[in-house]
Structure 1
Amino acid sequence: MDIFAERYNNDEIECPFKYSSYIAADDLQDIIKGLQLDADAFWLLIMFCFDYVYSVCLTGFTYNDSEKEAIEKFIALMPSNDSSNTKLSLKTEKGSMEICNKFIVSNLLKWIKQGYEQSQNTESNRLSKKEFQTMLDNRFNEKTESNSKMIWLFASLLKYFFELNPQFDGKHKRGINKNFLISKLIYYTHISTNDNFRFDTETLKGFFKQYKGIRIETHSSIYPDF
């Protein structure tokens, strides 16, 4: 929250939807009041969700396996004695080759495992500062997610807020609908310019259905994982 507070106070959140427009949007404020939400507090939640999904989907990153993780995953592929579907493919700038003999593949993996285990117990396994920095540089990949996933993630965060706070239900008030509020906010924040989000919840329902059970592996470039 300290990160968000600093970014909000320094006007670093790149949302085209401004507070004055938010307060003036009667269709939003009617639902917010109907749900008995604090309009100012909810505005901060909207800005956090927007900033978070922006940092995940447009400026995010993924982790590559470390050298240790990659080698251990490779060794774990050692075939069993009765395996008949074993092959090892290698491709470099000098060409490519494929080994289909399971005994050769198994022996290669055993030699790699022995060498790896020996290297863990030697002084030579220590990295120089330059090697360590190179390893760090190769650990991260910049990643951009689709606009569809950005819409879904923004909506999911707000939906999660309402799941954690069931007191804001508005069940007995006509026209007060949490999903309708979320849908409108997708439009107002310009995460999507599709008018359908503003007028009904059918498009939003389609996104929830399409991405049900999905997990985004991309990490925020601003906020630590939470």
Structure 2
Amino acid sequence: MQPIIDKFTNIDAVYPTLEAKEEDSILDYVWQLAMLIHPAMPKEVQGGTLEGSEAMPTFKERYNNRLIKMPLTYEEYKKNKEIQPTITGLEIDSDKFWFLLLFIWDYTQGQCFNAQEVAPSPIGELNSFIKLLSQYKTAGENPLTDQMQFSKDITLSIQINGKEMQTIQHPNTIGYLLSLCEEGFQSFCDMELENMVAMCEVPLKDTSNTESNNSQICYFTLLFKSMLQPFPNGIMTKQKRRSRNSEVSYNVTLLISRLIYLTGISQNEEFYVNERTLKGYLSNKSKLTNVRNRIY
């Protein structure tokens, strides 16, 4: 038994089109997630803006070259008597879901193993700086005319080669810097495109990162949770509850838990039996390092 698509031909497509071929429509779920987690720069077209994802050509090429080494085969997936009734019961297209599973498994591998750590982008650091100071500001709007006040004793330190060279302490000086940052952040969308790109660029660190198995489980679950919710935000037609007489589970967490076991992310058979094991992992709130995906 083979998937409905053996090889993709429309490899270079970064933006979906209305005239989608069958091979593109089978990737509906993948497109939806890819545009969320790995978006391309919006493309201006007649009548509006087109959203896309740089991850799509990579996924298609890796699929064509059989580089996605997920332990679960398509035949095993289609014949599974626990997950298939759940997928059908949730009114999810089984073949589209297969390609979503391939993409999430592969993207998780690239995110959690030997991925290169990234530093915050300039716009990200600016936003964090504004949020941090704003939460402590209690009085004064104009630092040139008002007496600025903060609820905490705040100082800003400037270091050169790790050595502190200057400390800024006056509330009005700090308030003035905050107001300048707020003005710059608010005008971000009015910048020239090349300046916007520069402000959003994330510098790469010299270190690579390998997450724990716990983090891999959490990231895999996070991606699926974002999709396994009712339309339009997710791929489910509607939320369904299991009736007393039904043997079919509509438990989304249990479905994800079973996929964790079937795809070899965990060898613990308890993942296949019930969702309590997965809930235990999620309760630890493992922190994922900010990295650039090794594959995508």
Q: Same fold (TM over 0.5)?
A: yes
Looking at structure 2, the residues matched to 138 and 220 of structure 1 have their Cα atoms a distance apart, in angstroms, of: 11
2:237 equivalent among 167, 179, 188: 167
> Taking structure 1 as reference, are residues 198 and 26 closer, same or farther at Cα in structure 2, changes over 3 Å only?
same
Give the secondary-structure state (helix, strand or coil) at the position aligned to 1:192. Answer: coil
**Quick one: structure 1 residues 190 and 138, their matched pair in 2 at CA, closer, same or farther if it must change by over 3 Å?**
closer
Structure 2 matches for 1:149-164, cutoff 5 A? 149-163=215-229, 164=234
Cα distance in 2, alignment partners of residues 10 and 39 from structure 1: 23
Seq. identity, %: 32
1:207 is aligned to 281
CA-CA distance at 1:217 after TM superposition: 0.8
Counterpart of 2:289?
216
Once residues 202 and 38 of structure 1 are traced to their aligned partners in structure 2, the CA distance between those partners, rounded to angstroms, is 27
Q: 2: distance between equivalents of 1:57 and 1:221? A: 8
Kept in 2, the 8 Å contact 1:197–1:204? The answer is yes
Change (3 A) 1:26 1:83: closer
Q: Which structure has the larger Rg over C-alpha atoms?
A: 1
| Structure 1 residue 60, shift from structure 2 partner | 0.9
Question: In 2, distance between residues paired with 1:160 and 1:51?
Answer: 16
Tell me if structure 1 keeps the 8 A contact 2:215–2:288.
no
SS of aligned partner of 1:141? strand
- Aligned-pair distance for 1:179? 1.0
1:176 matched to which residue of 2?
250
Say if 1:28 and 1:83 are closer, same or farther in 2 by CA, change over 3 A.
closer
Q: Is the 8 A contact 1:64 1:140 kept in 2?
A: no
Amino acid at match of 1:152: C
Aligned length: 171
Say whether residues 1:42 and 2:97 are aligned partners.
Answer: yes
Q: Counting helix residues as a fraction of each chain, which structure ranks higher?
A: 1
The equivalent of 2:212 in structure 1 is: 146
2:261 aligned residue:
187
For residues 194 and 138 of structure 1, do their structure 2 counterparts lie closer, same or farther at Cα, with a shift above 3 Å needed?
A: closer
SS at the partner of 1:26?
A: coil
- Choose between structure 1 and 2 for higher RCO, CA contacts under 8 A separated by at least 6 residues: 1
Question: 1:53: how far off?
Answer: 0.5
Q: 1:37, 1:168 within 8 Å by CA — same for their partners in 2? A: no
Superposed counterparts of 1:10-49, under 5 Å: 10-49=65-104
SS in 2 for 1:142: strand
Unaligned runs of 5+ in 1: 67-81, 92-97, 107-136
Structure 1, 30-39 or 195-204: larger mean CA deviation? 30-39
Q: Residues 64 and 160 of structure 1: is their aligned pair in 2 closer, same or farther, counting only changes over 3 Å? A: closer
For the residue of structure 1 that corresponds to 2:82, the secondary structure is helix
Query: Where do 5+ consecutive residues of structure 2 fail to align?
Result: 1-55, 122-152, 168-202
Q: Which amino acid aligns with 2:240?
A: G
Is the CA contact 1:57–1:145 (under 8 Å) kept in the aligned structure 2?
yes
What per-residue deviation string (whole Å, max 9, x for no partner) do you get for residues 90-132 of structure 1? 89xxxxxx99xxxx766xxxxxxxxxxxxxxxxxxxxxxxxxx
1:62 to 107, 117, 123: 117
* CA–CA distance in structure 2, aligned partners of residues 196 and 176 of structure 1: 18
Report the CA distance between 1:206 and its aligned residue: 1.5
Name the amino acid aligned to 2:109.
Answer: Y
Aligned partners of 2:116 and 2:208 also within 8 Å: yes
Give the corresponding residue for 2:172.
none
Deviation at 1:64, TM superposition (A): 5.1
